[in-house]
Amino acid sequence: MPLTADADIKALLEETRTIAMVGASDRPERPSYGVMATLQAHGYRVIPVNPQITGEHVHGEFVFRDLHQLGDAIDMVDIFRRSDKVGEVVDAAIAIGAKAVWMQLGVIDQAAAARAEAAGLKVVMDRCPAIDIPRLGVARVGEAEGGEA
């Protein structure tokens, strides 16, 4: 089952450091552009992935063509793609050894979620980390929390 409990989602966000954002955009009017900036401001390293703008930079990060190009370990793959395109992204996330996949608001693929979970990945669907981080009081990456939760 995808994560739905606040405590589980908060724990995932607290253990995440590096995020690959599939479907990242260089256009300020696109939701992924703002979410990427929000995640970076919270201390995450966000690596943009988008074959249409490969080689360019978004928020100071080089844009990669696909997940297989990444050399760094990825904690979470944040997916800004239509639901019918999620399966291939999830399969790539499994192949590169990501620890979790996060499907953005409106993005739902139960079969892909089941494959990810069977491979040991945590799954979040139809949510946005930029909304959940402040709602759940997730500490900025690298900053210790002030007490037990």
pLDDT tens digit sequence for 44-82 = 999 999 999 999 999 999 999 999 999 889 999 999 999
The per-residue pLDDT for 104 is 97
pLDDT tens digit sequence for 91-146 = 999 999 999 999 999 999 999 999 999 999 999 999 999 999 999 999 999 875 54
Query: Residue 11 pLDDT more than 50?
Result: yes
Query: Residue 1 pLDDT more than 90?
Result: no
Query: What element of type H or E holds 129?
Result: helix 129-136
The per-residue pLDDT for 144 is 58
pTM beyond 0.85: the answer is: yes
Q: Name the phi and psi angles at 144, rounded to 5.
A: -70, 145
The per-residue pLDDT for 99 is 98
What is the side-by-side order of every strand in the sheet holding 122-124?
45-49, 18-22, 76-79, 100-103, 122-124
The per-residue pLDDT for 143 is 76
